[in-house]
Amino acid sequence: MSSIYKLPTALVLFLLTIVGPGVQGAEVPRIIGGQFASPGQFPYQVSLQLKGRHHCGGSLISDTVIVTAAHCTMGQNPSQMKAVVGTNDLGAGNGQAFGISQLIIHPQYNPQSQDFDMSLIRLSTPVQLGGAIQTIQLADADANYAADTLATISGFGAINQNLQLPNRLKFAQVQLWGRDFCNAQNIPGLTDRMVCAGHPSGQVSSCQGDSGGPLTVDGKLFGVVSWGFGCGAKGRPAMYTYVGALRSWIKQTANV
């Protein structure tokens, strides 16, 4: 497990700068594995902020509840956190910030293995839904998809291995990995509460700052960014908390 690092502050989509064909002496910025989101494209996306700085991602599932990763909220004081919604650019000042009244960590969360890595966040006041602020539907408890199904990740996390944080929201498509590889034999510590997604090249991935953010399939929240082997490690997927496995706990706890 020493080669596996946990992502305590969330994953970010991997950006590389390369020289494009036909351009001499100039560096052409080209995002590998990610694009900048347009306004309102991901209306459920949340930036969880700690002491005024982006800390983790999250997904709005009701007007008062956010889903995120347990490792994002473990040991944190709700009074020092805010949830910012309704923006694709944290530097633009057009998002809405909400206080947090309660952090509910899954009772079986294991910070060593990251099993049951999920938290629910209750907001101090309800969000006014509409326009650039919408909830996302949760995947069903029995939701399952074939290997190589395309999923979408989004976040305000790091855009390179130097952990540079942008203010702008990025997104990318990743492939779900089947259990023929995504299993405890190949990935020690993997459990039934985890799913794998990524790209064999390693150039499509989450990174620090994206933790707790959404992995969606068919417009539903299928996974929560949890942990990985680094930002864009070749031949290695990122691990996501499987929403279907914890669907009954979410329903019981948040009535969603």
* Shared domain check, 86 and 157: no
| Nearest to 177, CA basis, from 235, 116, 231 | 235
Would residue 106 show up in a list of annotated catalytic residues for this protein?
A: no
Question: Does residue 113 lie in a domain region?
Answer: yes
- Check 59, 205, 211, 226 and give the catalytic one: 211
List the domain range (segments joined by +) for residue 98: 45-135+248-254
* Shared domain check, 58 and 142: no
* Shared domain check, 109 and 61: yes
- Check 71, 106, 119, 206 and give the catalytic one: 71
Query: Can you give the pLDDT of all 256 residues of the chain as single tens digits?
Result: 222 333 333 333 432 222 222 222 222 222 235 789 999 999 999 999 999 999 999 999 999 999 999 999 999 999 999 999 999 999 998 999 999 999 999 999 999 999 999 999 999 999 999 999 999 999 999 999 999 999 999 998 755 454 555 688 999 899 999 998 899 998 989 999 999 998 766 555 566 568 999 999 999 999 999 988 766 556 778 899 999 999 999 999 999 9
Query: β-strands 238-242, 28-30: how paired?
Result: unpaired
- Check 117, 205, 210, 226 and give the catalytic one: 117
Q: How many domains does the chain have?
A: 2
Question: Does residue 28 lie in a domain region?
Answer: no
Q: What integer pLDDT is reported at residue 234 of this predicted model? A: 66
Structural contact between residues 172 and 28, judged by C-beta atoms closer than 8 angstroms = no
Q: What integer pLDDT is reported at residue 72 of this predicted model? A: 96
* Shared domain check, 179 and 144: yes
Q: What integer pLDDT is reported at residue 39 of this predicted model? A: 95
Q: What integer pLDDT is reported at residue 41 of this predicted model? A: 97
- Cross-strand partners of 120: 67, 104
* Shared domain check, 201 and 108: no
- Cross-strand partners of 100: 123
* Shared domain check, 214 and 128: no
User: Amino acid identity of 243?
Assistant: V
Which CATH number is 140's domain given?
Answer: 2.40.10.10
3-class SS shares of the chain: helix, strand, coil, % to 5: 5, 35, 55
Q: Quick one: CA dihedral 208, 211, 215, 220, positive or negative?
A: negative
Which value, in Å, is the radius of gyration of the alpha carbons in the chain?
Answer: 17
* Shared domain check, 168 and 80: no
**pTM, to two decimals:** 0.85
Query: β-strands 220-228, 137-138: how paired?
Result: parallel
* Shared domain check, 131 and 141: no
Would residue 117 show up in a list of annotated catalytic residues for this protein?
A: yes
Question: Does residue 66 lie in a domain region?
Answer: yes
